[in-house]
Amino acid sequence: MKDGLRLQRVSSSSLTAEPWKILCSQLLASCLQDLGPSGQAHSCLDAVVPTLSLTPPGKQELPTEEGKSLWELVLEQFEDLLVRILLLAALVSFVLACFEEGEETTTAFVEPLVIVLILVANAVVGVWQERNAENAIEALKEYEPEMGKVIRSDRKGVQRIRARDIVPGDIVEVAVGDKVPADLRLIEIKSTTLRVDQSILTGESVSVTKHTDAIPDPRAVNQDKENMLFSGTNIASGKAVGVAVATGLHTELGKIRNQMASVEPERTPLQQKLDEFGRQLSRAISVICMAVWVINIGHFADPAHGGSWLRGAVYYFKIAVALAVAAIPEGLPAVITTCLALGTRRMARKNAIVRSLPSVETLGCTSVICSDKTGTLTTNQMSVCRMFVVAEAEASTCRLHEFTISGTTYAPEGEVRQGEQPVRCGKFDGLVELATICALCNDSALDYNEAKGVYEKVGEATETALTCLVEKMNVFDTNLQALSRVERAGACNAVIKQLMRKEFTLEFSRDRKSMSVYCTPTRPGLVAQGSKMFVKGAPESVIERCSSVRVGSRTVPLNTTSREQILAKVRDWGSGSDTLRCLALATRDAPPRKEAMQLDDCSKFAQYETDLTFVGCVGMLDPPRPEVASCIARCRQAGIRVVMITGDNKGTAVAICRRLGILEDTEDVVGKAYTGREFDDLSPEQQRHACRTARCFARVEPAHKSRIVENLQSFNEVTAMTGDGVNDAPALKKAEIGIAMGSGTAVAKSAAEMVLSDDNFASIVAAVEEGRAIYSNMKQFIRYLISSNVGEVVCIFLTAILGLPEALIPVQLLWVNLVTDGLPATALGFNPPDLDIMEKRPRNPREALISGWLFFRYLAIGVYVGLATVAAATWWFLYDAEGPQVTFYQLRNFLKCSEDNPLFTGTDCEVFESRFPTTMALSVLVTTEMCNALNSVSENQSLLRMPPWLNPWLLAAVAMSMALHFLILLVPPLPLIFQVTPLSGRQWVVVLQISLPVILLDEALKYLSRKHVDGERRPQALPALLASGLPPTPGLLLLPGGPVPASACTRGGVLGSPDGARRGPGGCDPWYLQG
């Protein structure tokens, strides 16, 4: 160890977490800097842990997240203002019911009982949903390893201990199949190669090769820290030893846990609007109820109340409570929940599974979709799309045979073409040998999954692409017609493997960038005369070791001209519009005898792969999904910006963006595409502007995603973020809509609001369209319910102001609000979407649920409903042949009716308590609201353009509601409970005459909307904005020089901290920098 650093025994109990971490860091840093060429630092590291007793405070594991108690969840359900008003109304109704006398004693308790049942049902549903929601933070423990293998000086050899007992400084051994128990800095690799599957952390789809060399870049992202193993990742192949540098919450996995725990869940735009609506409604209800009570103070001592001022006060207080019940749309929460649930079912049929119901509506506000590349925009199925062999190689010329291959999945379906013509690959000697190398220099295979009905990879994606290529080439013209899909998966590869036997494999290594197999022919002469070595690897490395080239069946020397032309073609494929991943294929026709080869010494492998003959080259890519380009075009049309966020390199990411239409073919990517490093180099304000204009982020880390979301949210953008790995969980939780892949990790799924069962970007666009349709339908049934409630309020307010008998009683209002109106309102959720729904710009999430014009429409319809209801009751008193035919003056002063009052001579005062007027009023209310439901098929389109039968569910709901209305009129004891009675045919004719004009009134309002209101609101600058890729958003000033943010925000997230914060504990350089 260094002379300046002396070990002293320190008790961990005397250290807090941070000093302990700093002291541990300094000791480990010293050991790592003293590593020799052999990587043997055991003696130094062995001294650290036992000398320091470095057990930090607490166990080194992810802590368990404490959830809310059942009682806390129940109380949360009653925090809504509307719910509290209803609870108060139920309490008051119950108290008043206790003082009722006579026939009303039984029916008086119906109202508070029904209200309480509603509140209990809502609370049960709310608690059930929250208790069943998966916990994203707890899901992280799935990836926390239970055991680890350490080497300590207190015992010889390797010992297994609990992973939570591993501390920084422990020497840890890992092997194939192990889950890494802590963040480790590699010090020795005990196998030819070490490959690690770290997809849960970085999202990389292929396993990563690791090494022990220091990484010179102090700002390397996790993907580039190839000398580090991260806790929770899996060893795919090999064996190694490393020193633990972080445990528990200090690991990369622990940091993600901390980020997720710090993200506060935000209420969705719909929840915020309903909260605001509840506050406005509660204020209006309070004012109206108080006004009704105060206005009638002069009637408190009327004879109808026995001359008792107190009884009169209580009577009008009951009317005020009835008014509150009428004003609150009790059925609205249930209808919204039902509509959202129906929407989730429709989305599920489109492969979008929604976990959070309010998120369904939020999708309709989406203005930015931040999408992963691999598996979402692309198929995540590597596919060879081009290849070439040498047709002629003379002194000064080199001509290539180039081929294209169709097919974008692992299915062995597609054909090989030269130009526009399909070719038989067996006619080209070079293609036969190329297919042979692809089949034999390969450890992967194709498999047909009969349950899913798809072909899947077994092994590495790159090698599976070569296996699939062999099947498409069919160089030996194998008869494939009679084969089953299972047999078809490897038929052509099997033929080649029968001709050549693989003896052993020289595994891939980082220094030579290639791998090879040693094969001997089972039938000499058909494919080869003797043993051969088949090689595949990076073109620059393989071609450098080639001395000749295969031209047909001949072998000719590889001259400088041919070498340069081959490398030029490879560079063109690798940097062109496709950005293909290229592999060179070569053979060694006369390899050493296998007995003379030292297979246990991997440093000799490069010597064996010399004097090679170049055969050909293949170019492959993870192809874009064929349907994605059209979906991105629809997003652009809908004013939604699509941003690709990927861990791939920038060139590949930009190429895919161009293919999909996220970027134009000739568009300059300056200011449109950034790497994580370039993004970090920007100032906070520049980062905000970059997030506002960028279409592509490459080589990013999890914290970048979170910062991108934060910056977009600062512009009031509604962001949909996709992800599939543990590393994506914080960003998924932070975004308004987190979208996890069905093939993703449990952590990502539980942190997301939506899961794509098919991992397809097209499903996101379909979900956004459905979200827009749901919001449109939601506005329709809210309009329907609110206008109905306005009508009920107008009815009660008008009767109270004019001094008329009650037209509607509270139990009738509850019935109408919950049952009669509830069915059509729910059916309005099935309204077909407008044809231009994806041609409109995203809705502003701050847009009021009820705008000024909409409020006027609600008010106009509601006032008509209220007037019609009062008119129906009044008609029975004044004009019905079966009624008392009193004067309007007598009706207004009915509370003064007595035998001694000369104004009521010949009038039976009990007639003012008849059930007929309330039945007439209730029937008009129900019928008018059914007509209003038919009006709500479209917000602005006439019934002549969008007739009600476009929504057959609505017609069925209207019929059911009318049937239920007749039920309470005719079937005992319901008439007693609801204080109603059957009506005559003449009375029903009057009901229809009063109710039907509401259709004409709404048609007139729709006409005004179409001709004036909507025309004035349509944005004229939208086409230009869409062309620029910048959908209109509040918070951004569109000036001639470009978009300027109206506010500024500071840089957020972990990566926004000063450079010192990125350094290792105790100010040391990060572990991956130390040699």
Catalytic residues, by residue number, are 372
> What are the φ and ψ backbone dihedral angles of 5, each rounded to 5 degrees?
-115, 115
Whose tokens are 């005990």? That residue is 190
C-alpha span between 378 and 360 (Å, rounded):
25
Other C-beta atoms closer than 10 Å to the C-beta of 1060 total 7
Residue 993's nearest CA partner among 900, 920, 1064 is 920
CB neighbours of 36 closer than 8 A, spacing ≥ 6?
Answer: none
Which residues partner with 720 through β-bridges?
A: 369, 737
DSSP 593: P
Joined tokens for residue 354: 């929604």
Tally of CB atoms within 10 A around 883: 17
Do 690 and 671 meet the contact criterion of CB atoms below 8 Å apart?
A: yes
DSSP string, 341-395: HHHHHHHHHTTEEESSTHHHHHGGG--EEEE-IIIIIB-S--EEEEEEEEEEE-S
Neighbouring C-alpha atoms within 13 Å toward the C-beta of 514? 30
Q: Which of 312, 143, 299, 151 is nearest to 234 (CA)?
A: 143
> In this structure, are residues 232 and 37 in contact, taking their beta carbons and an 8 Å threshold?
no
For residue 901, the tally of other CB atoms under 10 A from its CB is 14
Buried b (16+ CB within 10 A) or exposed e, 320-356: bbbbbbbbbbbbbbbbbbbbbebbbebbeebbbbbbb
The number of helix segments (H) and strand segments (E) in the chain equals 39, 32
Can you read off the two tokens belonging to residue 1071?
């572990």
618 three-state secondary structure: strand
- Give backbone dihedrals phi and psi of 70, rounded to 5 degrees, phi first: -60, -40
What sign results for the dihedral spanned by CA atoms 169, 175, 181, 186?
Answer: positive
Token pair in block for residue 299? 């009637």
Closest among 397, 41, 68 to 185, alpha carbons compared: 41
String of DSSP letters for 421-484: EE--GGG-HHHHHHHHHHHHS---EEEEETTTTEEEEES-HHHHHHHHHHHHH-TT----TT--
Pick the closest to residue 980 from 830, 793, 820, 777 (CA basis). Answer: 820
Residue 551 pairs in a beta bridge with 390, 554
Q: Is 329 left (phi over 0), alpha (psi -120 to 50) or beta?
A: beta
Among residues 576, 579, 690, which one has the least CA distance to residue 643?
690
CA distance 260 to 723: 14
d(CA 32, CA 432): 51
504: left (phi over 0), alpha (psi -120 to 50) or beta: beta
Q: Which two tokens stand for residue 334?
A: 């249930």
Q: What residues pair up with 209 in beta bridges, in sequence order?
A: 195
How far apart CA 429 and CA 974 sit, in angstroms, is 90
How do strand 641-645 and strand 696-698 relate by DSSP bridges? parallel
- DSSP readout, 509-541? ETTTTEEEEEEEESSTTTS-SS-EEEEEE-HHH
- Per DSSP (E only), the strands in 594-736 are 612-621, 641-645, 673-675, 696-698, 719-723
